[in-house]
Structure 1
Amino acid sequence: MVFMAGGVADAVKTDDSLYDELYDVKTEALETGNYIEVDPYPLMKAAQERGAVQKGFLREVLGLPFWHRHRAVVEGGGERLQGYCVLTFAKAEEAFRDNARLSNKIYKMTPGDEKFLGILEMDNPEHFAHRKAAQSLFIKPRAVGLWRDRWINGIVEAIVEKLKSQDRAELNMDLCARVPVHTISVAVGLRGEEALIFRKALISTLSSRGGPESQMAAAATVARMVTEQIELRRKSPGEDIISWLLAAEVDIPGEGSRHLTDGEIITFCRLLLLAGGGTTWRQMGILLFALLDQRDRWEAVRADRKLLEPAIQESMRWNPNNPMFSRLAVEDTEIGGVAIPKGSVVDICLASANRDPSRWDNPDEFDLFRKMQPHIGFGMGAHMCMGRNVAESEMFVALDALMNEFPNMRIDPDQPAPFLTGGLEQRGISSMHVLLK
């Protein structure tokens, strides 16, 4: 199957009210129920000074109203599971790498055996086998080759071409939201408004606001749209995610090698479209905020594009858009000398770990020139974000194009100033109003 560049251009140029509905960080947090009013970083810093690992869920330790993204935290009878949180880099790394005792089963979101988010809910060896089946599509050579050449470059070019006719823009909606959602959607085979319809349905499956019937209807829409693409790719395979998954084989020890089922492909695409259309959107906004909030940073990167990659990595360290992840202790264990009983939930705070003063000097500062060393903004270990190379390519191409076309771009002083907002589970910018010329 051949993707037509014109179709991509038409899709990203479309003005659609769904962007306003789906790409507002504060609204997303409010609807989810996890919005926080305060800057969490001073709270994290104070908590980190009290101990690397502490008893209590992260929100409890920070003194914030209780909320948890995982339904398993509160059992059917209303009894809350026991919680612990990890706040330093070394102990977060230890927790991420302990796949034997700290399990991703906490991500189980639906009853029965169905996995809603695929590999995110799996442990080894099942996780390794399923990840291996798709991993090669996301390795760095493909992210800077196939993904850029086939999808990302054309999408960014179309967006920037539209912006050239304007004096002002709101880049959270006009750029940050559009690049990732259309990249991942067109790579699956969705076009134009289909991408936003799919994302709306996908988010609705995670929201309890409309009740069970609304969630079931949304899940049916998601399954139908992916199934239609699967049927098309069986008849006419091409260079796209679904064709790749149809050809892939999964080899789980004791089960033998086999092709992925349609249900497994639907689940994988559900995860890709949820994460790929969301996390990069928020991180790209954070990166733009960091560079434009202090003009000398923008000028430094514009003058020396070798700084663009360090800027992307520093944004992930400084303000990761997913500040925390959780694990379920399936055995008694300990982290940092603190006993973690079986059945407890461990909140791993990436945001706090990435500002550990024992690892980084002046960790609260965004520093383009700091010594590069690994952070955990994309996670770590077996469950490190599989799409990180694609996300980095999207941010690189988009920022590089903006600097080429709009060297004098700056925050619009006549519009509300951007600020960071959201919950402890997702962070992003409020808006990004800029003068382009």
Structure 2
Amino acid sequence: MTNVLVADDPLYEKLYDVRREAEDIGNAVDVDAIMPQVHRLRAEAPVHKGRLRELLGLPHHDRHVRARGRQHYSVLTYEACEAAFRDAQTFSNGVQGNDNPANEKTMGILEMDPPMHRAYRRTIQPKFLMPEAMGWWRTRTIDGIVERLIARMAKDDRAELNLDFCARVPVYTITTAIGLSGDEALTFRHAYLHSTSQSRNTTMEDRVRNGRIVEDTLLGLIAARRAEPQDDLISFLLKTKLMMPGADPRPLSDREIMTHAKLVMVAGGGTSWRQMGITLFALLTHRDQFEAVRDDRALLGDAIEEGLRWNPTAPYFYRMVTADTEFYGHQIAAGSVLELGLGPANRDPARWEIPMSTTSTATS
């Protein structure tokens, strides 16, 4: 088995090239160029009729299959985004699904609404709470990974932090936690990224083939852990019980476990990687804050939280409108889609004293 932590695998450069990935799915945007227009729109009204890309004069792009052909509304203020997130009955996660008939055995938790979302989230959440993060995750993987990566980077006079650090910490952490080998982790992420409809340069045949690689890898791992449990995330999920309201507790099915594992692998290899890079960039380009965090480690949590506000790796979320409703001055028909702008909301001057800064404070 190749040690994915230190190997110079060319897949790293391919899989962790942010611009290439955005161009591949048709979603490359010059954020610095459009943000003044976004702030202007937010100042004019909390909600605008139309896709944000249309309002900004950008090329069309559908993030979710179910959003195609529907009327969109762009939500840009902190207050309006929070109101939509808190009303899951009217504004549904279901827009994130695909065209297949959805049920609890094939849906991921990002596609679910309460109470289903809460029930499935509880099956995996215990492994991601802070006590586990500071205990099981650190002792099992993270501390050793960071030490080896720093030793690897110290051999040269420079390092590419995106590839040499940010990409490697989460993918190796999640790989070890799930029970995949290093080689399998990169192959899995490559296959998963090329099994979805978002990859414009992948044929349907390639998507089907890559989808089979993903499923075969995970179902094989689940079968192996059922036969011989280990101290990993798959074994934990095999032991946990799903507790839906009004139903008897039951074990998760293999496909439900597989769906959980997909989400964890993609989040670890995507969201965590990007946000780590964003936070490092923010600190390294604001040396006074970098030095403050370096000198006082108690500030580290605040620095991470501020990085999430200042530049979230997922700046837009989508919700399907389930019933005709009035929302911030708009009569919105059922079947429409809300684009919830976390990025603009997190720079909303009505909520933050210095919204553009990396050191902002909430207003009362």
Taking structure 1 as the reference length, the TM-score comes to: 0.79
Matching residue within 284, 300, 322 for 2:276: 284
In the other structure, the counterpart of 1:309 is 301
Secondary structure of the structure 1 residue equivalent to 2:323: coil
In the other structure, the counterpart of 1:209 is 201
In the other structure, the counterpart of 2:150 is 160
Matching residue within 27, 38, 41 for 1:34: 27
Q: CA deviation at 1:254?
A: 4.4
Q: Distance in 2 between matches of 1:166 and 1:37?
A: 32
Q: CA deviation at 1:31?
A: 0.2
In the other structure, the counterpart of 1:150 is 140
Do 1:329 and 1:345's aligned partners in 2 also have CA atoms closer than 8 Å? yes
Q: Which amino acid aligns with 2:16?
A: Y
Q: CA deviation at 1:372?
A: 6.5
Q: CA deviation at 1:151?
A: 1.3
Mapping for residues 356-435 of structure 1, pairs under 5 Å: 356-367=348-359, 370-371=360-361
1:232-290 per-position Cα deviation (integer Å, ceiling 9, x unaligned): 21122122110111011112234432111001111111111111210111111111111
Q: Distance in 2 between matches of 1:41 and 1:198?
A: 35
1:411-436 per-position Cα deviation (integer Å, ceiling 9, x unaligned): xxxxxxxxxxxxxxxxxxxxxxxxxx
In the other structure, the counterpart of 1:56 is 50
1:333-372 per-position Cα deviation (integer Å, ceiling 9, x unaligned): 23223222100000000000001101111211111xx447
Q: Distance in 2 between matches of 1:371 and 1:363?
A: 8
Q: Which amino acid aligns with 2:205?
A: E
Q: Can you give the 5+ residue segments of structure 1 that lack an aligned partner in the other structure?
A: 1-6, 75-79, 375-437
- 92-101 or 156-165: which moved more? 156-165
- Is it true that 1:86 corresponds to 2:75 in the alignment? yes
Do 1:117 and 1:268's aligned partners in 2 also have CA atoms closer than 8 Å? no
In the other structure, the counterpart of 1:122 is 112
Query: Does the C-alpha gap of structure 1 residues 302 and 18 become closer, same or farther in structure 2, counting only changes over 3 Å?
Result: same
Secondary structure of the structure 1 residue equivalent to 2:98: coil
Query: Does the C-alpha gap of structure 1 residues 290 and 312 become closer, same or farther in structure 2, counting only changes over 3 Å?
Result: same
Aligned pair count? 360
Q: CA deviation at 1:116?
A: 5.8
Q: CA deviation at 1:167?
A: 0.9
In the other structure, the counterpart of 1:98 is 87
Q: CA deviation at 1:42?
A: 1.5
- Is it true that 1:194 corresponds to 2:188 in the alignment? no
Q: CA deviation at 1:195?
A: 0.7
Q: CA deviation at 1:296?
A: 2.1
Higher relative CO (CA 8 A, sep ≥ 6), structure 1 or 2? 1
Q: CA deviation at 1:217?
A: 0.7
Matching residue within 253, 258, 262 for 2:254: 262
In the other structure, the counterpart of 2:234 is 242
In the other structure, the counterpart of 1:346 is 338
Q: CA deviation at 1:67?
A: 1.2
Q: Distance in 1 between matches of 2:77 and 2:31?
A: 21
Q: Which amino acid aligns with 1:232?
A: A
- 43-52 or 203-212: which moved more? 203-212
Q: CA deviation at 1:117?
A: 5.4
1:184-215 per-position Cα deviation (integer Å, ceiling 9, x unaligned): 11110111111100000010112242221111
Q: Distance in 1 between matches of 2:248 and 2:325?
A: 32
Q: Which amino acid aligns with 2:324?
A: D
Identical counterparts, % of pairs: 45
Q: Which amino acid aligns with 1:99?
A: A
1:118-158 per-position Cα deviation (integer Å, ceiling 9, x unaligned): 11111222222111111111111111111111111111111
| Aligned Cα root-mean-square deviation (Å) | 1.8
Q: Distance in 2 between matches of 1:337 and 1:200?
A: 44
Q: Which amino acid aligns with 1:314?
A: E
Q: Which amino acid aligns with 1:325?
A: F
1:74-129 per-position Cα deviation (integer Å, ceiling 9, x unaligned): 2xxxxx21010111111101111111111111011242336765111112222221
Q: Which amino acid aligns with 2:54?
A: E
